[in-house]
Amino acid sequence: MNPDLDTLATRLYVTIDDLLIDHPEWAPERLAVGIAPRLTDAELITLAVIQALIGFTSEAQFFRYARTHLTPWFRYLPDRPGYNKRLRRSGQLMQHLTGHLARTCPSWTDDLWLVDSTPVECGRSRETAKRSDLAGWATYGYFASHSRYFWGLRLHLITTPSGLPIAYALTGARTDERDTALDMIAFGGLDTAGQTMIADKGYRSAAFETELNQAGMNLPQPEIGADPARSPLPQSVPPDHRIGQPDPQSPARSRTPRRPDQTRGLRPRTATHPRPHHSNLAQRNCQPRWTCPITHRVRPLTPWNQSSRGSTSTGEHHMKRALSEYTDLLTVEEASEYLRISRALGYQLTRQYRIAKGDAGLPVVQVGRCLRVPRRALARFITDGGIKAAEPPTATYRST
């Protein structure tokens, strides 16, 4: 195992073990009488964290890796079903540990928070919305960034600029973002005086700002229209405890400057076609008009129904080829094409011919594992007997 990962896992195990000694109520409930688990809760959480850090999304693959590389660090490794059951029962323990570890991070005391929400789409079809176990929790909502509706949930987050989650909530798609933000602040006791929160225009509300101001928090937003002056936006200069973190807006590396164009302004500009503005796509007058009929522009893409602008129909294209132009033995597809019937009906007629032993159906001979239609028999089938679609053969079922 990686030495850095080994050090992290050891430190995490010791921290979790000390926290469980100080807070025994965090551990999952167990009967006082019974067999004690061979894998402790601290080792279980440490094993789950290692799985997430290495990047295994499959528990079966992770356990194959653990039994090969992690046996020196864990005296006992349970089976995958037992590990899965214990890990699902330790959800409350993981919440307490996550909150404690987050509060020990230096960025927890940051005076600037970011609040936003993102949709969690759970399905698109109507059948999924009716049959899913999320019915009653997931609802229909509007995704403003993509300008469409979706069915699912909405994830609300309050984070620091460095990405540390302060609070989160998973609600229905129609739940108001401002009410959810106030509930997260009240539930987590995050109403700290002097705290600044930055949100987008979806959180713009006088009642929401009043609630935050009463709690001593500030929500700076730019002025829009005739609104009164608001609190100024925080400066982009990072505080001391944010120094050293990667800046996503850092200047690009130096590169070779572009050579000046000596002919710029001397060459005549070519006329361009006026295009509609991106905010108004309904300007039909600026779009080019077609001079040919609409039927010529709508052309099929399947090879069984190709049409050209010179021919008027698909039937004329197929009838140009006479029967004498085919070989002595035709495939079922070629015979169906010449008879102007579907391929499925052609195979049905050949099956009927073989079952009826030549009394009805399309004449066919078997060459190895292939079926071929004789050209002369096809001609007699058309001239003498005509094209008849007899009743399909009756299937025989046997009870077991």
DSSP tag of 388: -
Higher pLDDT residue, 251 or 321? 321
pTM above 0.85, yes or no: no
What pLDDT was estimated at residue 381? 86
Q: How far is CA 187 from the centre of its chain?
A: 31
Average pLDDT score over residue span 384-392: 51
Q: Which long-range contacts (CB under 8 A, 24 or more apart) does 223-232 make?
A: none
What pLDDT was estimated at residue 224? 62
What pLDDT was estimated at residue 171? 93
Higher pLDDT residue, 155 or 271? 155
151 Rama class: left (phi>0) / alpha (psi -120 to 50) / beta: beta
- The distance in angstroms from the start CA to the end CA of the chain is 57
Under 8 Å CB-to-CB from 109, ≥6 apart: which residues? 241
SS3 of 103, please? Answer: helix
Is 199 within 8 Å of 150 (Cβ atoms)?
Answer: no
**Token duo for residue 197:** 């929160």
**Of the ranges 140-149, 155-164, 211-220, 284-293, which one carries the lowest mean pLDDT score?**
284-293
What is the percent of the chain where pLDDT is above 90?
A: 28
What pLDDT was estimated at residue 265? 58
SS3 of 375, please? Answer: helix
Higher pLDDT residue, 173 or 290? 173
pLDDT higher than 80, residue 13? yes
Under 8 Å CB-to-CB from 100, ≥6 apart: which residues? 19
Q: How does pLDDT run across 290-332, given as a tens digit for each residue?
A: 444 444 444 444 444 444 444 444 444 444 467 777 888 889 8
Q: How many CB atoms lie within 10 A of CB 110?
A: 20
pLDDT band at 235 (very low <50, low <70, confident <90, very high): low
Structural domains of the chain, with CATH: 3-29+37-103 (no CATH), 107-223 (3.30.420), 316-385 (1.10.10)
Rounded CA gap, 127 and 137, in Å?
Answer: 16
pLDDT band at 270 (very low <50, low <70, confident <90, very high): low
What pLDDT was estimated at residue 354? 86
pLDDT higher than 70, residue 334? yes
Give Cα separations from 391 to 43, 340, 343, 361, 364 (angstroms). 70, 19, 17, 10, 18
Rounded CA gap, 7 and 114, in Å?
Answer: 32
pLDDT band at 227 (very low <50, low <70, confident <90, very high): low
Q: How does pLDDT run across 46-98, given as a tens digit for each residue?
A: 999 999 999 998 999 999 999 998 888 888 999 999 999 999 999 999 989 98
